[in-house]
Structure 1
Amino acid sequence: MEKARFHSLVVLQVKVIYCLFAALALSVVAVLDLVEARTVFAAVAAAFALALLLYALVLLLRGQQRSSPVTEWLMILGLSLFTLFGMQTHEDVVHWVYFVPGYIYFLFPFHVASYLALVYSTAMVLMVISEFDSYLRLQILFTYGACYAFAVMYALINDRHNHGLSAIVNTDPVTQVYNQYQLSLDLSKEMTRADRQTDLLSLVGIVIPPSWRVLKTEEYESRLSYLTKRLKRCLRRFDTCYRLDSDVFVVLLPHSTDAVVEALCENLMDDLEGSGRFEGLADIRLRKDSYHPEDDVEDMIARMEKESDDQHA
């Protein structure tokens, strides 16, 4: 999984550097406000600078980022409340609304950020219309619209770039396991090796519960990520995990015997059933399959996906 780790590390480092630069810029703003005796605004800028600095340190210490953790929700909630209610008491607060779209798209995945930005923008526009005269409305809304459009376009380009990068490294960006294309490549090689060495080659399919598929995207991806973390703990050093396009997970087990396959399945189910973090973990189904000389790559992948169809029938 070296390429998957490298991809994750690059994304993490970019986010940390962005946080540090943003914290530095806000520190300068805080100093300027303090010089002008605007202590309230200086305190707000310093608080957000400190929050970004702490967030960068958390990312470095944790070594990976989760999908929308509590820290990010608190930062956006604090900035949103400060701008929406602060505009009613002091007109200078309106300049902070231009930061919000960029922060939302920076801190959250694109699909989540789009909903949050739309809700915030609606509330902000209504408040600007009700609190400011027609001349100021036009300036504020035009500048905010430009900032909003820039944030959306930047986030969209970044999202597509991440998808393109994940395709290059052949990994799934959510679970950090290999994708179906990489399974086709690896399975073809292992089948050739098994034929030449008269060795055993097995697959184990992990089929998620149908109830998970109706969840919201963020919750669904969180469960898939948790499942793969549990699954990786049960694998041998040379076993490999893949996520199919149908969201069936497949473990490729070279040099495997029936006892090895059974041990993997038992360890995984014992681990999942002993965890109460998510509902439905005990409803996960496993499918065992072995390579035969008459099989080809498409046949074996189709059998793994057929298990998913059977579960939904």
Structure 2
Amino acid sequence: MKLHRVKGTYLLLIAAGLGLLVILDIVSGQGQQALMTLACAVVLVVYALLMPLRGRRPPGVWPLLTALPLTAGAGFYGAISADLSVIWSFLFCGLAVFLLSFRQACLLIPLYSLVWLIAVLGNFPAMAAAPVIFTYSICAVLALSYAWVNETNLRNLSAVANTDPVTMVYNQYQFTLDLGREMTRAERLMDELYLVGVRPPQIWNDLGADDYERRLNYLAGQLRSCLKKTDTCYRLDSDDFVLLTPHSSAEETDVFMTKVSEVLAHSEYSELQRLKMCRTSHVPGEEVDAMVQKIGESLNAV
């Protein structure tokens, strides 16, 4: 299951729990509390539904300006007034983890926790403060633990043999390593070194995340089918593909590009027939970063 699906599912579950709180607030006659709970639940539902529909573009910062402040404010109000609304603080940590990046959540949660703790100790009776602080601590630790485990798994997944987990070709880090080695070899042997840049169709950027990744994987498979034993395919951080073709002359690289075009002409996606491709050569003394930049500039010029 993709990460955005996991987040969306959890947010919908949280919204369902808030829906139960709305019913309880209405039954107990707390209309103002029910409205605030309902507003937060609606924001979470809309955000969860927009995550897959917006494709690769983030839904924006409006959930951060609504759900998080509502939750934080309600929890802090409960801490000051020493009433039941303090339970909103327990929800804040989970929302912060899902709506913010790992680094942002690690900065915001401890800061909020410190201010919240001071408010609880100053307004709650000692016997009542202990279980509230304990429960909040458990929620905060679990939220940060989830965020840390998820962040670690993502890093480990991308670091497995420096392979891109979506397309199963090498990533940009491995590309810089291999390119540096091949550039050194070419300069020592006074050999030619050519690279082929391939840019996915621009219209794919408007697709949903799953469909976009599926098509990227398909394109990577088509490119791999054209490689010789000495060639290697990479996916850059910009989503451009680079085909490293050592031991190939300019004419052989042109033949290779023609082969790629012929393969893509029979693909199931018609937009691949008009794919942007370029050939870039290594200049002695050129740095790896300069080569990566030159590939992008060449694709922009196509």
- TM norm structure 1: 0.57
The corresponding residue for 1:84 is 76
Structure 2 contact 25–33 (Cα < 8 Å) conserved: yes
Given the superposition, is the C-alpha separation of residues 18 and 182 from structure 1 closer, same or farther in structure 2, using an over 3 Å criterion?
A: farther
The corresponding residue for 2:88 is 96
Quick one: distance in 2 between partners of 1:161 and 1:114?
Answer: 17
Quick one: distance in 1 between partners of 2:63 and 2:281?
Answer: 43
Paired letter, 1:159: E
Structure 2 contact 72–92 (Cα < 8 Å) conserved: yes
Q: Aligned runs of 1:156-171 on 2, under 5 Å?
A: 156-168=148-160, 170-171=163-164
- Secondary structure in 2 matching 1:37: coil
- Secondary structure in 2 matching 1:72: coil
Tell me how far 1:69 sits from its aligned partner: 2.8
Matched, 1:147 2:139: yes
Percent identity among equivalent residues? Answer: 21
The corresponding residue for 2:236 is 242
Deviations 1:246-287 (A, max 9, x none): xx9996356897xxxxxxxxxxxxxxxxxxxxxxxxxxxxxx
Tell me how far 1:170 sits from its aligned partner: 2.2
Structure 1 contact 203–253 (Cα < 8 Å) conserved: yes
Given the superposition, is the C-alpha separation of residues 290 and 170 from structure 1 closer, same or farther in structure 2, using an over 3 Å criterion?
A: same
Which range moves more in the overlay, 110-119 or 158-167?
158-167
Tell me how far 1:127 sits from its aligned partner: 0.8
Q: Aligned runs of 1:199-214 on 2, under 5 Å?
A: 201-202=194-195
- Secondary structure in 1 matching 2:236: strand
Quick one: distance in 2 between partners of 1:65 and 1:114?
Answer: 24
Structure 1 contact 101–117 (Cα < 8 Å) conserved: yes
Paired letter, 2:37: A
Tell me how far 1:291 sits from its aligned partner: 8.3
Structure 1 contact 34–42 (Cα < 8 Å) conserved: yes
Deviations 1:99-135 (A, max 9, x none): 1111111211111101110111111011112212222
Paired letter, 1:154: Y
Quick one: distance in 2 between partners of 1:104 and 1:184?
Answer: 37
- Identify unmatched segments of 5+ residues in structure 1: 1-8, 190-197, 205-231, 258-287, 293-298, 309-313
Quick one: distance in 2 between partners of 1:146 and 1:88?
Answer: 21
Q: Aligned runs of 1:13-28 on 2, under 5 Å?
A: 13-28=5-20
Structure 1 contact 67–108 (Cα < 8 Å) conserved: no
Given the superposition, is the C-alpha separation of residues 306 and 55 from structure 1 closer, same or farther in structure 2, using an over 3 Å criterion?
A: closer
Which range moves more in the overlay, 163-172 or 69-78?
163-172
Aligned CA-pair RMSD: 4.4
- Secondary structure in 2 matching 1:202: strand
**Number of equivalences:** 220
Structure 1 contact 183–242 (Cα < 8 Å) conserved: no
Q: Aligned runs of 1:29-108 on 2, under 5 Å?
A: 29-64=21-56, 66=58, 69-89=61-81, 91-108=83-100
Quick one: distance in 2 between partners of 1:40 and 1:58?
Answer: 27
Paired letter, 2:97: Y
Tell me how far 1:70 sits from its aligned partner: 3.4
Paired letter, 1:242: L
Question: Which structure's CA Rg is the greater one?
Answer: 2
- Identify unmatched segments of 5+ residues in structure 2: 183-190, 198-215, 217-221, 224-232, 251-279, 293-302
Q: Aligned runs of 1:252-267 on 2, under 5 Å?
A: 252=242
- Secondary structure in 1 matching 2:64: helix
Structure 2 contact 25–31 (Cα < 8 Å) conserved: yes
- Secondary structure in 2 matching 1:146: helix
Which range moves more in the overlay, 29-38 or 116-125?
29-38
Tell me how far 1:307 sits from its aligned partner: 8.0
Deviations 1:15-34 (A, max 9, x none): 12112222112112211222
Deviations 1:191-242 (A, max 9, x none): xxxxxxx9972378xxxxxxxxxxxxxxxxxxxxxxxxxxx9xxxx969652
The corresponding residue for 2:115 is 123
Paired letter, 2:173: Q
- Secondary structure in 2 matching 1:252: strand
